[in-house]
Structure 1
């Protein structure tokens, strides 16, 4: 279990990136994938929505996966918010590991113990199990 100080450090590190991605971004304003994306936009964070079924979300060009995003960015300087069901989250974490992405924030509902165990074994600095960018992000 992470301590509050460890979680606070992970959040600080997460927000030190120069670019962000929202996996599970949505055009539906009632879904958290849209709300989280809008949070990054309204807080002037450079962000890319990731959704294999969309071309544009909130006026931003959408990419289908992390690999498409990383082709143009330094993987070490990207933080990724994930808003997907745990089954899909696991494949996102596998892709992040392959690409060398270390900063991942699983929004509530996107994680399960299998995802957390995988991230720990993969060396991913994982935020999960409670904090949410919509709640904890504004305090930063």
Structure 2
């Protein structure tokens, strides 16, 4: 699958620094919302209580996870996504690692390295 194909799915979660203006995760959340997508933004640092259960519950309602987080933390997020049944992950530049890609490949998750902002921009140019 190509990154552009993920745009056919309407329910997204973006994980990263979604609360700081100027950060890519923040921009991605707003761009998706402005393009008519249902999107939740999750900053794992801002979750009180059981982060694992909170994220797993949130992921149970999405089609695509947009990973916009340091790969050393991203692998744990990908494992939670797998538990929640997420099978499509867009891995933003800088969030990728071989460990993440191997895990996805070995667990039936369609992981694509790409940029949501670039794909949305291409779609709007058509």
Equivalent of 1:11, from 4, 14, 18? 4
Q: Higher relative contact order by CA 8 Å / sep ≥ 6: 1 or 2?
A: 2
Q: Is residue 121 of structure 1 aligned with residue 120 of structure 2?
A: no
Equivalent of 1:91, from 73, 76, 99? 76
- Aligned partners of 2:100 and 2:59: how far apart in 1? 21
RMSD: 1.9
- TM-score, scaled relative to structure 1: 0.75
SS of equivalent residue, structure 1 residue 22: strand
- Aligned partners of 2:4 and 2:109: how far apart in 1? 13
Give the paired residue count: 118
- TM-score, scaled relative to structure 2: 0.82
- Aligned partners of 2:108 and 2:69: how far apart in 1? 21
Gaps of 5+ in 2: none
- Aligned partners of 1:49 and 1:25: how far apart in 2? 8
